Amino acid sequence: MTETIVILDFGSQYSQLIVRRVREAQVYAELLPWDAPEESVMGLAPKGFILSGGPRSVYEAGAPFLPAYVLASGVPILGICYGMQALVDALGGKVAPAADREYGFAALDISQSSALLRVGDHPQVWMSHGDRIEVMPPGFTVLAKTDNSPMAALGDLEHGYYGLQFHPEVGHTPAGGQILERFVREVCGCQGDWTPESIIDQAVQRIQAQVGAARVLSAVSGGVDSSVATALVQRAVGEQLAAVFVDTGLMRQDESTWVEAAFRDNLGGNLVMVDAADQFFSALAGVTAPEEKRRIIGETFIRVFETAASELGDPPYLVQGTIYPDVIESRAPERGHAQRIKTHHNVGGLPERMDFALVEPLRYLFKDEVRIVGEALGLPAALVWRQPFPGPGLAVRCLGEVTPERVEKLRQADAIFTAELAAEGLLIYRQNQAAEAAGTAQAFAVLLPVKAVGVMGDQRTYEEVIALRAVTTVDFMTADWARLPDGVLARVANRIVNEVQGVNRVAYDITSKPPGTIEWE
């Protein structure tokens, strides 16, 4: 069984980053609500607990608290910010409002050696708190302090209990990754068995146990998640798998050609290409509301898909490229229960009930883990590291009514934008370290449902507007807008206005996530 660290979520905006940092240490971590049922938490056989931060104060009425079973488990515990205060409170210490709130950078003064804090003299850490520890529980000692926090780190070394007032999971704490790695490796005793090979082996075993000798269908979109999910299931069941690509007419430029070339060699006659563009555009006529678009696309997709499935003998299982951010954001049911496709998932607003049981081999992986697994499965790097693409396709980037003419404008603009970024080495690609530093993990065009006045060829124009979106991110849970060079943006805008008929203005989106989302709809 995989070594597991459980992160109990007390509401911090950084909770998912703790999971990422632990997994970077090759130790599996799973995020669960602080009040998750004991059986679902302990069923994972955790080798340690990490308690996240949170927006509350432990002395408030109704504030989240540390469940008794965590202390009773006897395994090491690391509390971060609110998690530290919850740990201290549960063990009989005292937490109170701080005279001076502490937000931002601080220098850590390490007063006692410990497994966690072998990180040099006065390391920089990131603080974000308004409470502090006034009385430590029995058995604890102060490990470090800052100017405003006399107990910035404390520990009961005998029991493996640690508390950090700062946030080791964020990039603003440069040594934070080392601290978390030492907790899971040295304090919890994890060996580090979360590797691409082990992920594949365990996924293959789960898939085989789930489907047995039954046939399996996969909806291949050409995106990273569906491609890796399909390859993983094929590794597990071989000829039992058939893949269907439904061309909705809402795909990126040359998408159908790309998908067929990428999968035909591996899947042969088990790859079915379906051209259903006319059905989708007919169903979307006159619709402008984003959720209604998703619902219609999902409904149409599954009907087309069901027709293809019937021609393949109605396999009972469907591969879904759900990844861990989907699970976290939608607070999905406990693992192991039967799942149905929800509107949040990749394909879009699919019906609540269908005649398929889901196979979700990527359900507990982050995007970068999916890519690494894809490489380990032997998929081409150009496929594994390509840009993410939403299940509903260009429909959620074509704001307003979705028509063949408007989608074609968007498709051309999007192709220009991504081609220019690629030419400048600004699209993330595994072998392109400069691009990874630039961080354009996702870049695309959006067609807006507004028109603007322009002048072209000495004549007044009144045409549509394209917005460009490019973000920097690792896990896609949070993202910042990419600081693209002015010259690149100018060249892209000039090409779009000159080459895409019906567009006379280009804007650049500089909104981060949060408060915005990466996609516009």
Q: Is the dihedral of CA 451, 452, 455, 460 positive or negative?
A: positive
* pLDDT value of position 347: 41
Quick one: 228 and 314 in the same domain? yes
Quick one: 442 and 305 in the same domain? no
The string of pLDDT tens digits covering residues 283-322 is 999 999 999 999 999 889 888 888 888 888 888 898 988 8
* pLDDT value of position 472: 87
Q: Which of 167, 181, 360, 398 is catalytic?
A: 167
Quick one: 40 and 121 in the same domain? yes
Instruction: Compute the distance between CA of residue 207 and CA of residue 322 in angstroms, rounded to an integer.
Output: 15
Quick one: 55 and 150 in the same domain? yes
Total domains in the fold of the chain: 3
In a domain, 123, yes or no: yes
Based on the residue annotation, tell me whether 169 is a catalytic residue of this protein. Answer: yes
Mean pLDDT along residues 233-253: 92
Q: Return the axis-axis angle of helices 224-237 and 367-376, rounded to nearest 10°.
A: 40
- Of 360, 384, 408, which residue is a domain's last? 384
Which has more pLDDT, 222 or 212?
212
Q: Return the axis-axis angle of helices 404-423 and 486-499, rounded to nearest 10°.
A: 150
* pLDDT value of position 475: 63
The string of pLDDT tens digits covering residues 97-135 is 877 776 788 899 999 889 899 887 788 998 887 788 899
In a domain, 519, yes or no: no
Based on the residue annotation, tell me whether 436 is a catalytic residue of this protein. Answer: no
* pLDDT value of position 322: 87
Quick one: 207 and 333 in the same domain? yes
We report the CATH number of the domain holding residue 42 as 3.40.50.880
Quick one: 29 and 147 in the same domain? yes
- Of 357, 384, 411, which residue is a domain's last? 384
Which has more pLDDT, 227 or 339?
227
Which has more pLDDT, 380 or 412?
412
Most confident of 172-186, 261-275, 351-365: 172-186
In a domain, 514, yes or no: no
Q: Is the peptide bond before 174 cis (omega within 30 degrees of 0)?
A: no
Based on the residue annotation, tell me whether 167 is a catalytic residue of this protein. Answer: yes
Give yes or no for residue 236 having a pLDDT over 80. Answer: yes
Give the CA count within 13 Å in the CB-facing half-sphere of 198. 12
Strand partners, 459: 456
Q: pTM for this one?
A: 0.75
Quick one: 161 and 18 in the same domain? yes
Quick one: 345 and 254 in the same domain? yes
Quick one: 415 and 432 in the same domain? yes
Most confident of 252-256, 272-276, 376-380: 272-276
* pLDDT value of position 269: 66
We report the CATH number of the domain holding residue 330 as 3.40.50.620
In a domain, 389, yes or no: no
The string of pLDDT tens digits covering residues 448-487 is 999 999 887 778 889 999 999 999 886 676 789 999 999 9
Write the CB contacts of 520 (distance below 8 Å, at least 6 apart in sequence). 396, 397, 399, 446, 467, 469, 509
In a domain, 240, yes or no: yes
Quick one: 207 and 178 in the same domain? no
Least confident of 103-117, 156-170, 498-512: 103-117
Give yes or no for residue 1 having a pLDDT over 90. Answer: no
3-state secondary structure of 156: strand
Mean pLDDT along residues 421-435: 67
8 A C-beta contact, residue 507 and residue 466: yes
* pLDDT value of position 113: 84
Measure Cα distances from 488 to 121, 378, 412, 418, 483 in Å: 42, 34, 17, 11, 11
Q: Which of 3, 30, 81, 102 is catalytic?
A: 81
Least confident of 199-203, 401-405, 462-466, 514-518: 514-518
8 A C-beta contact, residue 201 and residue 207: no
Share of the chain above pLDDT 70, in %: 90
Give yes or no for residue 332 having a pLDDT over 60. Answer: no
* pLDDT value of position 330: 63
Q: What is the CA radius of gyration of the chain?
A: 25
Instruction: Compute the distance between CA of residue 58 and CA of residue 329 in angstroms, rounded to an integer.
Output: 25
We report the CATH number of the domain holding residue 452 as 3.30.300.10
Q: Which structural domain range is residue 344 located in?
A: 196-384
- Assign 333 a pLDDT band (cuts: 50, 70, 90): very low
* pLDDT value of position 441: 85
Give yes or no for residue 429 having a pLDDT over 70. Answer: no
- Of 160, 187, 214, which residue is a domain's last? 187
* pLDDT value of position 309: 85
In a domain, 515, yes or no: no
Share of the chain above pLDDT 90, in %: 60
In a domain, 433, yes or no: yes
Long-range (24+ apart) CB contacts under 8 A made by 278-284 are 278/249, 279/304, 280/248, 280/249, 280/250, 281/249, 281/402, 281/403, 281/404, 284/395, 284/401, 284/402
Least confident of 221-235, 333-347, 413-427: 333-347
In a domain, 520, yes or no: no
Quick one: 225 and 368 in the same domain? yes
- Assign 188 a pLDDT band (cuts: 50, 70, 90): very high
* pLDDT value of position 80: 97
Give yes or no for residue 226 having a pLDDT over 80. Answer: yes
Give the closest residue to 468 by CA, choosing from 486, 478, 224, 477.
Answer: 486
The string of pLDDT tens digits covering residues 5-20 is 999 999 998 898 999 9
Quick one: 101 and 246 in the same domain? no
